[in-house]
Amino acid sequence: MTYHELKEQENQYVMNTYGRFDIALDHGSGAQLWDVEGKRYIDLTSGIGVCCLGYNNEKIIDAITEQAHKLMHVSNLFTTEPMVQTAKTLCTQTGMSKVFFSNSGAESNEGMIKLARKYSYDKYGEGRAEIVTLYNSFHGRTVTTLKATGQEKFHQYFFPFTEGFAYASANDIESVKAAVNDHTCAIMMELIQGEGGVLPLDSDFVHQVEALCRENDLLLLVDEVQTGIGRTGSLFCFQQYGIKPDVVSMAKGLGGGVPVGAVMAADTCDTVLGPGTHATTFGGTPMICAAANAVLSEVTKPEFLKSVTEKGEYLKAKILGFGSDKVKDVRGMGLMLGIVVDADERAALVKEIMDAGVLVLTAGTNAIRLLPPLSISYEEMDEALAVMQKVFCK
Ligand code: PLP
């Protein structure tokens, strides 16, 4: 089908909930995508941080194919090896203790919120269920995670939302202290606010939050849905901050392109969710965990993680080196970068870059967000940089 035929049928049959670009994608390889009309793009989006090993990755495809022939799905009433293997790798690589598998980022955050509330209920009884999150955060689109998201624009239409969230300012420990009270059970944050604009939290602030949690027996919940699985140059971003979260949520990159999420708990709270307290039909299903194991076998290699840091630094230095007054800053870590531009120039810049064959994202009000496949080659980066330089330096 041509783009126009597809679009016509999409408009007829698909709910119009996304502001989609005028591109219909057909296939990909490495960090390159082709649309239905054969136009080629360098992809700096990886399906919003999902396809961390690029497109048409043989290792992931083989793992899925082999496992699909063997056993695609069984219920969580039975034990399966791929699921145990994924959990073991996540724990041994991080020092965390136990994993619960889900299917998406929002669902992982739901699990993390449930775990924090039950931890507090088991120890202190009712009335200590409030979770402090940060303004400008993003935690998902369910009725609970929308309310956990510290942005007023997400608290619309779907009333009543789940109660029990308070908000504080990022990088302002006094604001966090003011939001904590006798009803608080946890503090939840992204270490780099992704959707909010690619804004890394200050290390001092993160350590102060950790100390506040320890002083008050609050669980420290870290949302690594976007920052996890090698994206920032370590398997998880919390490892670079040098903190010990009680619970970490993840999704996106874990499956390299298949839907999977997980909640990982430290030994402080790894038995809180016992039999019958939490479940999901597809969580940890063998075929999906086979893909996760293929991803983790690559992403946990020290030389792979080093290459992510180096590629991120390369992109940052080259973009700042354009010397364009349209580029105000480049922020972020590893291959999670935000090019800061004038808010009112951003839409036009993005359109020009995309028209010239490079796919990019936006975040917050003034960032052009880059989340390329972690496996992107230097040739692919150079091609994308040449396009961006032309647009920024016009
Ligand atoms: N948390 C963070 C930090 C995210 O970036 C996202 C998605 O962008 C989510 C949660 C929600 O994940 P999902 O869309 O898989 O539900």
The tens digit of pLDDT for each residue in 104-115 reads 999 999 999 999
Ligand 1 proximity of 138 Cβ (cutoff 6 Å): yes
Q: Average pLDDT for residues 183-209, to the nearest whole number? A: 98
Digit-coded pLDDT (tens) for 71-112: 999 999 999 999 999 999 999 999 999 999 999 999 999 999
d(CA 74, CA 263): 20
Distance of CA 249 from the midpoint of ligand 1 (Å): 10
Ligand 1 neighbourhood includes 257 CB (under 6 angstroms):
no
Residues 6+ apart with CB under 8 A from 311: 334, 335, 372, 374, 376, 378, 381
Ligand 1 mean position to 141 CA, how many Å?
A: 8
Closest residue by CA, ligand 1 atom 14: 105
Question: What is the pLDDT, as a whole number, of residue 226?
Answer: 98
Contact partners, residue 272, CB within 8 Å, separation at least 6: 115, 118, 119, 122, 265
Determine which residue's CA is closest to atom 1 belonging to ligand 1. Answer: 139
Q: Decide: 190 in ligand 1 pocket, CB within 6 A.
A: yes
Does residue 108's CB lie within 6 angstroms of at least one atom of ligand 1?
A: no
Band (236; pLDDT cuts 50, 70, 90): very high
Per the CB < 8 A criterion, the answer to whether 37 and 2 are in contact is: yes
How many C-beta neighbours within 10 Å does residue 51 have?
Answer: 29
Report the nearest atom of ligand 1 relative to the CA of 142.
Answer: 16
Q: What is the pLDDT of residues 8-59, one digit of tens each?
A: 999 999 999 999 999 999 999 999 999 999 999 999 999 999 999 999 999 9
What pLDDT does residue 9 have? 98
Ligand 1: residue whose CA is nearest its atom 15: 105
- pLDDT at res. 214: 98
Specify the pLDDT at position 38. Answer: 97
pLDDT in tens, 265-277: 999 999 999 999 9
Whether residue 191 contacts residue 200, with contact meaning beta carbons closer than 8 Å, is answered with yes
Nearest residue (CA) to ligand 1, atom 5: 226
| pLDDT at residue 205, rounded to an integer | 99
- Say what the pLDDT of residue 167 is: 98
**What separation in Å is there between the alpha carbon of 199 and the centre of ligand 1?**
15
From the CB of 226, is ligand 1 less than 6 Å away? yes
Q: Is 255 in the pocket of ligand 1 (CB under 6 A)?
A: no
Q: How does the average pLDDT of the chain come out, rounded?
A: 98
Of 226, 234, 236, which is closest to residue 48 (Cα–Cα)?
A: 226
| Average pLDDT of span 156-183 | 98
Q: How far is the CA of 386 from the centre of ligand 1 (A)?
A: 31
Which atom of ligand 1 lies nearest, measured to the CA of 193?
3
Q: Mutate which of 252, 280, 362, 371 to test ligand 1's pocket (most atoms within 8 Å of Cβ)?
A: 252
Q: Please tell me if the CB atom of residue 154 comes closer than 6 angstroms to any atom of ligand 1.
A: no
Of the pLDDT bands very low, low, confident and very high (cuts 50, 70, 90), residue 330 is very high
pLDDT digits (tens, 9 = 90+) for 345-359: 999 999 999 999 999
Q: What is the pLDDT of residues 367-380, one digit of tens each?
A: 999 999 999 999 99
pLDDT for res 122: 98
Whole-number Å distance between alpha carbons of 99 and 82: 13
Whether ligand 1 lies within 6 angstroms of the CB of 228 is answered as no
**Beta-carbon contacts of residue 39 (< 8 Å; ≥ 6 apart):** 357
The response to whether residue 110 sits with its C-beta less than 6 Å from ligand 1 reads no
CA end-to-end span of the chain: 36
Please tell me the predicted confidence (pLDDT) of residue 101: 98
> pTM of this prediction?
0.98
Mean pLDDT on 232-246: 98
Pocket probe for ligand 1: among 108, 136, 139, the residue whose CB has the most ligand atoms within 8 Å is 139
Separation of CA 106 and ligand 1 centre (Å): 6
- Alpha-carbon span 113 to 161, nearest angstrom: 14
What number of other Cβ atoms are within 10 A of residue 390's Cβ?
Answer: 13
Ligand 1 within 6 A of CB of 336: no
DSSP string computed for 312-343: HHHHHHHHHTT--TT--EEEEETTEEEEE--H
For residues 166-174, average pLDDT: 98
Give the pLDDT of residue 193.
98
Beta carbons within 8 Å of 77's beta carbon, 6+ residues apart: none
At 51 the pLDDT is 98
* 283 DSSP 8-state letter: T
Per DSSP, 153 falls in state: G
- The pair phi, psi for residue 355, each rounded to 5°, is -60, -35
Order of strands, sheet of 25-29, starting from the edge strand that comes earlier in the sequence: 25-29, 32-35, 40-43, 358-359
